């Protein structure tokens, strides 16, 4: 098993980190008191193997930001990208080709070979709809060259120095879906995601949302939002041991594994990420 390997080599890669890295409550706790704000990403990246970019969920970022994040992380690091809530929550997956183009034109390709899976998080109010979901999945680019071609269809919401559409060497581009409606926990939904090779996110969310454990791609994507209290509670040594065991099982099956802790409210996420890495190292 390789806990850290470069880029997108299929199979036997486990990457662990947090969802985001810029949280005031972490300063003076996980982050040393005198650590500069701009150095927080580098500090966390030295102790984890991947991170989720979650600012892209709330708004279109700039190519310069993606470039800075690329440069602040180790050579073999991977940054997962959280897809825009404009696509998932406002447009509800319908008529989103231009919105997808804007997202991929706004700079993710500047990450180069550090660009990891793209996460699409759905709200609870969106139920499973085979036609809507199937049309959305068919739009998703499956390589960086496809993403660059899609990005060229952007509108004037991104322009000038806010546009980056250079694909570099062609690389696979993976996607993961985190539904929060129980209507997605069916064989029908799993089959559709499997046809499109999109991973079903396994979420631990203190019982708030379903923990859908479906194997639908050549990788696993896990989001740990807090086992007993959403976004807040830490993971006990026993729980970390159990997740380490699951990671080993997926790894043994030849699947890549991505695990992100989102229990950031009380600053537990980075400690839990480091704790899980220690169990697998």
Instruction: Measure the CA–CA gap between 242 and 260, rounded to whole angstroms.
Output: 15
How many CB atoms neighbour CB 10 within 10 A? 12
Beta carbons of 35 and 43 less than 8 angstroms apart: yes
pTM exceeds 0.85: yes
pLDDT band at 5 (very low <50, low <70, confident <90, very high): very low
Q: Which residues contact 8 (CB under 8 A, 6 or more apart)?
A: 113, 116, 171, 172, 174
pLDDT at 51: 98
Please state the domain extents for the chain: 14-280
Q: Which CATH superfamily is domain 14-280 in?
A: Protein of unknown function UPF0759 (3.20.20.410)
Q: Tens of pLDDT along 179-233? A: 999 999 999 999 999 999 999 999 999 999 999 999 999 999 999 999 999 999 9
pLDDT at 241: 98
Instruction: Give the 3-state secondary structure of residue 116.
Output: strand
């Amino acid at each position: 098993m390789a806990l850290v390997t470069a880029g997108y080599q299929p199979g036997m890669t486990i990457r662990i980190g947090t969802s985001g890295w810029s949280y005031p409550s972490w300063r003076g706790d996980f982050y040393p008191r005198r650590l500069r704000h701009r150095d927080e990403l580098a500090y966390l990246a030295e102790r984890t193997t991947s991170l989720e970019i979650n600012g892209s969920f709330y708004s279109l970022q700039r190519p310069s930001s993606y470039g800075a994040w690329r440069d602040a992380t180790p050579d073999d690091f991977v940054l997962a990208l959280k897809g825009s809530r404009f696509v998932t929550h406002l447009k509800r997956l319908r008529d989103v080709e231009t919105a997808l183009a804007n997202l991929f034109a706004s700079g993710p390709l500047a990450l180069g070979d550090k660009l990891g899976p793209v996460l699409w998080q759905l709200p609870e109010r969106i139920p499973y709809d085979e036609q809507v979901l199937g049309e959305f999945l068919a739009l998703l680019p499956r390589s960086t060259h496809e993403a660059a071609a899609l990005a060229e269809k952007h509108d004037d919401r991104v322009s000038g120095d806010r546009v980056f559409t250079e694909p570099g060497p062609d690389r696979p581009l993976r996607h993961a879906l985190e539904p929060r409606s129980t209507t997605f926990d069916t064989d029908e939904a799993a089959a559709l995601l499997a046809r499109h090779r999109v991973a079903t996110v396994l979420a631990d969310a203190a019982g708030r949302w379903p923990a859908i454990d479906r194997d639908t791609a050549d990788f696993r994507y896990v989001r740990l939002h807090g086992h007993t209290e959403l976004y807040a509670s830490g993971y006990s040594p026993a729980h970390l041991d159990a997740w380490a065991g699951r990671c080993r099982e997926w790894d043994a099956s030849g699947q890549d594994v991505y695990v992100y802790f989102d229990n950031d409210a009380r600053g537990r996420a980075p400690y839990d990420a480091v704790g899980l890495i220690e169990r697998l190292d």
